[in-house]
Amino acid sequence: MSKSTAIEPPRTIVFDLGGVMAEISHSWEGASAVSGVPCSKLAGGKTKLTAMPEFDEYQAGSITLDAYLDRLTEFVGCERAEALRLHNGILVVEYPGVKDLVAEVVAHGCRTGCLSNTNEPHWEVLALNGQYPTIHSLEMKMASHLVGLNKPSPAIYERYCREFGLVPSDIAFFDDGASNVEGALACGWHARRIDPSQDTPAQMRSYLSELGVI
């Protein structure tokens, strides 16, 4: 495969989390199945998480956890005491192979980080307490709820560069959302969309090879 024509390959590798580094439920029905929380208002299809407007609002840090869980209870028809467990059912498991991929890019002298639209309970599990060890090991971590911005707002990509002293052209970014990839490209990052239904480390390794990173 031919190498990128860039003079220097990017040396900072930044990952989205859900759908890139970790398997997640993309629907409330999926979260219900993972968590075991029954939801009377779900029709058994694939109700997108973002079908509830407060989902994105919560990830941007604009409403409280209690307000979000109150609305979630109403939206899906679960018991209020079970709402947080349902919400955490969005998280499934770290993808096999991401540990080796991160070790490989670090061995090639790259720095690593993540930029995720997420929220306080998920951030604690994914990035802080070690339950997802590869994500926990990433060097430069930023989450939407901590900065009050969601991807694909240009402001969050600019904030990431400013926060960590990075040049946009030195970043290779992976996300499962097409609009988030487009937003990164518009800000001067190298970026590639990842298909979460396929082998995500293999897709990332292929793009990093194209760029001459590995």
Does any domain span residue 162?
yes
Does any domain span residue 58?
yes
Query: What's the pLDDT score for residue 43?
Result: 82
pLDDT in tens, 30-49: 999 999 999 999 987 899 99
Query: What's the pLDDT score for residue 44?
Result: 79
Does any domain span residue 5?
no
Whether residue 24 is predicted with pLDDT greater than 60 in this model: the reply is yes
Query: What is the domain range of residue 32?
Result: 28-88
More confident residue, 31 or 1: 31
Residues 40 and 131 in one domain: no
Residues 110 and 174 in one domain: yes
Residues 56 and 105 in one domain: no
Residues 66 and 114 in one domain: no
Residues 75 and 160 in one domain: no
Q: How confident is the model at residue 3 (pLDDT cuts 50, 70, 90)?
A: very low
CA distances from 142 to 43, 76, 136, 206 (A): 35, 29, 12, 25
Whether 172 contacts 208, CB under 8 Å: yes
Residues 81 and 169 in one domain: no
Contacts of 160 (CB under 8 A, 6+ apart): 14, 113, 115, 140, 142, 166
pLDDT in tens, 164-174: 999 999 999 99
Residues 59 and 126 in one domain: no
Q: How confident is the model at residue 1 (pLDDT cuts 50, 70, 90)?
A: very low
Does any domain span residue 117?
yes
Whether residue 70 is predicted with pLDDT greater than 90 in this model: the reply is yes
Looking at the 3D structure of the chain, how many domains does it have?
2
Residues 35 and 106 in one domain: no
| Residue in 62, 67, 137, 126 with CA at minimum distance from that of residue 93 | 126
% pLDDT > 90, the chain: 95
Question: What DSSP letter does each residue of 119-161 carry, written as one string?
Answer: -HHHHIIIIISSSSHHHHH-SEEEEHHHHT--TT-HHHHHHHH
pLDDT in tens, 124-140: 999 999 999 999 999 99
Query: What's the pLDDT score for residue 4?
Result: 43
Residues 105 and 191 in one domain: yes
When the pLDDT of each residue in the chain is averaged and rounded to a whole number, the result is 96
Query: What's the pLDDT score for residue 156?
Result: 98
% pLDDT > 70, the chain: 97
In CATH, what number is assigned to the domain containing residue 171?
Answer: 3.40.50.1000
Whether residue 106 is predicted with pLDDT greater than 90 in this model: the reply is yes
DSSP state at residue 172: E
